[in-house]
Amino acid sequence: MQQLIKNIEQWAEDRNLINGSTPQKQMLKLMEEFGELCGGIARNNPEMIKDAIGDCFVVLVILNKQNKNKERLSFYGQTVGDNVDKFLINMIEDICDIYKYQRYRYIHLLVPNLIAIADYFNLDIKDCVQHAYNQIKDRKGEMRDGVWLKSEDL
């Protein structure tokens, strides 16, 4: 998993997302991806959920690298049981707190929630992240106002 994180960091460096964007712009991207995760859950669409979990993780890697956080993104998880709602609420609260108070050093705290949500839907977080990386690794696009836009969205 650490090699996959390094690949994502290099992908972000190559597209100037680390120095050419801001944590605030990346937090907006995280909120966008989290919205897609909620949309996938609302539609009970496993492929959409897998994609969004991986995309959320990619943004967390970028944020962690931007902020030179010493905390590594770790993969300890929690058991969800039969209630995924609490983890969605935790993510909403954490995303809002990190954004509002600019506490970017706490980005790593979002990972256990993503793991728990993946687990609830019988997904492996590593598979989700690998899927996301495979989607973006050769993607073309450009930076606009600190946000990376894929070619299809231009």
**Mean pLDDT across the chain, nearest whole number?**
89
Encode pLDDT of 27-79 as tens digits: 999 999 999 999 999 999 999 999 999 999 999 999 999 988 766 666 555 55
What residues contact residue 152 under an 8 Å CB cut-off, 6+ apart?
none
Encode pLDDT of 5-19 as tens digits: 999 999 999 999 999
Closest CA to 8 of 116, 134, 147, 109: 134
Residue 56 CA, chain-centre distance (Å), reads 2
Most confident residue range from 69-83, 105-119, 128-142: 128-142
What residues contact residue 93 under an 8 Å CB cut-off, 6+ apart?
none
% of the chain exceeding 90 in pLDDT = 58
Q: What is the pLDDT of residue 87?
A: 80
pTM above threshold 0.75: yes
Tokens of 17: 């997302």
Residue 136 CA, chain-centre distance (Å), reads 13
Q: What is the pLDDT of residue 106?
A: 83
Average pLDDT over residues 20-30: 93
Owner of token pair 């690794």: 137
Strands (E), the chain: 141-144, 147-150
Q: What is the pLDDT of residue 81?
A: 60
Pairing of strands 147-150, 141-144: antiparallel
Residue spans of the domains in the chain: they are 1-138
